[in-house]
Amino acid sequence: MTKIALTGIKPTGTPHIGNYLGMIRPALELAHSYRALYFIADYHALTTERDPERLRRQTYEVAATWLALGLDPREVIFFRQSDIPEVFEFTWILSCVTAKGLLNRAHAYKAIVEENIRQGRNTDDTINAGLFSYPVLMAADILLFGTHVVPVGQDQKQHVEIARDIASGFNSHYGNVLTIPKALIRKDVMSVPGVDGRKMSKSYRNTIPIFADDKFIRKQVMRIVTDSKPPEAPKNPETCNLFSLYRHFSPPEDLEEARMLYLNGGAKYSDIKNKLIVLLLEKFKEGRRTYEVLLNDQAAIEQILKQGATAARAMAKPVLADVRLSIGIDRSDL
């Protein structure tokens, strides 16, 4: 039987090349060897996003990005979380078998509590109950489809472990109902540096968006921070931000040449930046066209997501039916 791979994409911020290298590309590759379910986690975004227009726009942006980068909706079940009512019923059921203490230990929640304490604020300042139970909603996403593997970045590893804990707890009380999932973490692209050298992240404003206009891409690449060594000085490519971005997009021969110039002297940062700009614009040229067409045709995106939701619900229903029966809610009519 083909194993199931599932992952969620939170529609916050405009997708950037860190998302592409760390998540989108590996997930699209994985779709060839697994039954893939990829979805837009709009109700997860609601824990922090209060602007309806932005939530709507970012949902379409994320959907259009994945489709433009090659997600084939005939191969991948591509849907929107809020289109699957089963997720929310299941979230409640799982909440009732989840120890509050397990959620107290979640890194994302703990980090906000600690920051509140540091700032002398009330420990729960700005924390809504949705943010606290975020990992339960995520466990429901994962466990509802009998997921085997969850391709995620390192930052989501704990959330997948929480889903495993919840599933094991459920199973040990109610019998073997749920499939225990496993995180699948890509080590090689674990962290893509942003233009300032920190991890590329929208919260640092150091991203290179995938489909921004040429001018903005050029501007961001030019901002990539390097040391001030002159071209003739030998440099270490492994510790250079610019090189670690360049290596993901450069053809292998050019990369080897650049590596030699770094090591032996002769690597000029501005030349490499210019090459990177050309590579980025070329790489995403076709995708950018598709992206723009799709963004202007929301009905087409809706149709794809709806079709995905129908397929996803067909998988979710029997799992949820088993869950209901096992807990003593005998509703085979739902």
Name the residue with the smallest CB distance to ligand TRP: 8
Written in H, E and C, the secondary structure of 229-280 is CCCCCCCCHHHCHHHHHHHHHCCHHHHHHHHHHHHHCCCCHHHHHHHHHHHH
C-beta closer to ligand TRP: residue 26 or 237:
26
**In angstroms, what is the minimal distance from the CB of 6 to ligand TRP?**
6
Helix (H, G, I), strand (E, B) or coil at 8: strand
Window contacting ligand TRP (CB under 6 A); options: 1-9, 51-59, 298-306, 320-328: 1-9
DSSP helix, strand, coil percent of the chain (3-state; round to 5) = 60, 10, 35
- Long-range pairs of 288-293 with CB within 8 A, sequence gap ≥ 24: 288/68, 288/211, 290/64, 290/67, 290/68, 291/64, 291/65, 291/68, 291/211, 292/211
Given candidates 61, 83, 86, 141, which one binds ligand TRP under the rule CB under 6 A? 141
Count of chain residues binding ligand TRP (CB under 6 A): 13
**In angstroms, what is the minimal distance from the CB of 130 to ligand TRP?**
13
Binding mask 154-183 for ligand TRP (x = CB under 6 A): --x--x------------------------
Rg (CA), the chain: 22
C-beta closer to ligand TRP: residue 152 or 240:
152
C-beta closer to ligand TRP: residue 10 or 16:
10
The sign one gets for the Cα dihedral 194, 199, 200, 205 is negative
Q: Does 267 bind ligand TRP (CB under 6 A)?
A: no
Distance CA 36, CA 68 (A): 17
Inter-residue contact 283 to 25 (CB < 8 Å): no
Distance CA 287, CA 211 (A): 8
Which is nearest to 289 in space by CA: 57, 37, 69, 86? 69
Q: Does 192 bind ligand TRP (CB under 6 A)?
A: no
**In angstroms, what is the minimal distance from the CB of 20 to ligand TRP?**
14
Partners of 77 in beta bridges: 37
Window contacting ligand TRP (CB under 6 A); options: 135-143, 164-172, 184-192, 299-307: 135-143
Binding mask 196-235 for ligand TRP (x = CB under 6 A): ----------------------------------------
Q: What is the DSSP letter of 23?
A: I
Subset of residues 25 to 84 that bind ligand TRP, contact rule: CB under 6 A: 41, 44
C-beta closer to ligand TRP: residue 133 or 241:
133
Given candidates 93, 138, 258, 294, which one binds ligand TRP under the rule CB under 6 A? 138
C-beta closer to ligand TRP: residue 76 or 142:
142
Residue 64 tokens read as 């259009």
Residues of the shown chain interacting with ligand TRP in the complex, contacts defined by CB under 6 A: 6-8, 10, 41, 44, 138, 141-142, 150, 152, 156, 159
